[in-house]
Structure 1
Amino acid sequence: MIYFDNSATTKIDDSVLSTYETATRNFGGNPSSLHKLGLNAYELVESSRKQIADLLNFNPSEVYFTSGGTEGNNWIIKGTAYKKREFGKHIITSSIEHPSVTNTMKQLESLGFEVTYLPVDDSGHIKIADLKKAIRKDTILVSIMAVNNEIGAIQPINEIADVLNDYPSISLHVDAVQAIGKNLEDKFMNDRVDFYTFSGHKFHAPRGIGFIYMKDGKQLEPLLAGGGQEHNFRSGTENTPAIAAMAKAIRLLKDDEEKKTNNILELKTKLLEHLETLENVHVFSKLEDTFAPHIICFTVDGVRGETIVHTFEKKEIYVSTTSACSSKKGLESSTLKAMKVPEKIATSAVRVSLDENNTISEMNEFIQNLDEIYNHFQILN
């Protein structure tokens, strides 16, 4: 089996799973309980919080655990909107965000908020000039993803931060779900950012766990009311085993991060160079430093993306169309649509997404099978 769908989800690492199982067996108390079992669980949660913070150069007080990227994005966007609505109801985002951002924005629009969706150019990047034009006196939040989940475009977070340095009252949120662990910190980690979103299952942690970064001194309206966990910001009994496992996963992720990223980039380079030799193929992910190393989006003209996905599946090779959240619905890529790619081409999009466990032999086998599939459909066309 060859698994090239890591942007959808990653396989939990064996040692991370071992940490999860150990924590499940040995730390069964509720972290809010006063007895010894509860205290032991609480200490494990807090040591995990500190480990994550130290690895990412945050303060432990800035890390809040969630169920994953969707909750994190919803919480930050809605929590900011509700907290700051007396100061304004205008929000800026891009036209290529993940559905957990786009659909949250649409919910807020139904509640009277106004949202500006910045366009992207033909490479999938916003333009800073458009951001500057969009800012209004009543703007309260700018929410822009670090790495696009469909084509891998890296948004100019540092340039966005520079613009917002002149607007200290505007909160800046970065969805970093696809960015962590790819040696890209210098492109999206910026002191001006107020909020980040992270999701554990994108880096070999269990599903159903994630965290947000909330800069010290910033505030969010809680989405979940209850027992007051996470310093009254996010109620609900902490998922102690998953938190401990996620901390382990981040430690492993950061080990030899540059070397692992270079290996991923080697695989991407090999595939892109081969795709350049094929006719009737469009490639939307580039080798430039404005694109992430692990995502490759391309089309074989005249063949729907789901057809290619299922053809590969028969060979036990797993890729996807675009976003996993949209692929089952048969929707065209929202990113390619925003890039004004014709629908006939956009519906042919296939996404290959790599991680550090993929190998050059897997890529060679993928390319061999790609050629067979490509030649088959060329004959049919």
Structure 2
Amino acid sequence: MTVMLALVPDAFGGRGGIAQYNRDFLSAAVTAPGIERIEILPRHAPDAFTLPAGLRQAAPGESRIGYVLRALGMSLTAKRGIVFCGHINLVPAAALVARLSRSRLIVQTHGIEAWDDPGKPYRRALEKADLVLCVSRYTRARVLSWAAIAPERVIVLPNTVGPTFTPGDASALRAAWGLAGKRVLLTVSRMDARERYKGHERIIATLPSLPGDVVYVVLGEGNDTDRIKAVARDAGVADRVLFKGAVGRDMLINAYRMADLYVMPSTGEGFGIAFLEAMASGTPALGLAVAGATDALCDGALGTAASEEAFAGTLARLLADGKPDPAGLSAAVTARFGSKTFTACTHSALGRLAQV
């Protein structure tokens, strides 16, 4: 039986899409044949959490040096095991730990941070990996463009969507937010100045050309919020854009359910987990046919991927078409990206370690 040591920026008790992916991957990996347990060392874990059986999570590491020293100490329990690196920023430390513990190394890559050559220390460390996991075909192609690594060691393992995201009645939330009788566009994302590629401005720019009953709800927080609010004011649509900040899981699910269309015209998605969450909740999704979003939208089979030029017209058309059958959309997304499929793919990926 093998012990896995997971070096991650965050996982259980963490926030955001990468933390969610790490939770999903580790929860699936611990059920794989041959895995005895998984020891997790996060950099951050601000929230309370519970752990599935077989997982142990240490207290977060504070400084970089302290984190590496703790990882080296924990590697003694994973000797000749597996080291999982949950973010490319940690790959030099993970490669060192794997070498000293004579363990196999798995590196997870997500989005924009892995698309260009990250520099010699990171590139050389990643090239030592026995297996590199990528959330999308686009990320895989970008990694292979700068890393000297055998293509068969770089595989796609996309995000998954949890079973709590299901269709349902969200009329109470519509009423509470004053949206009865409105058609609602929704975006869920961080509003960080480093992530201006999410496309809030593109959506705001379409509002003046759309009927007056169309409103735009934005969930999330960040240091770019005031600027985006100013964009709405300058466009003369401040009264049609609602900024609701960060919300809890139950309200998030209801927000997905009550929206008529989930919209995120991002140009920098490694995948786009929010597309899956919206569609699993029964709401159609629209993104750009750019980068990893095409994988989440299944090349148009589940959601709609528009060109940048056709985006505004496609948005108007989807609103006019109305919401499709929520149950049918949810079932299709769950079949393709649900927990059962993800667990099977995770087990298959771990099985490849014996072949490399």
TM-score by length of 2: 0.33
Q: Under a length normalisation based on structure 1, what TM-score does the superposition of the two structures give? A: 0.31
- Structure with greater strand percent: 2
Q: RCO higher in 1 or 2 (8 Å CA, sep ≥ 6)?
A: 1
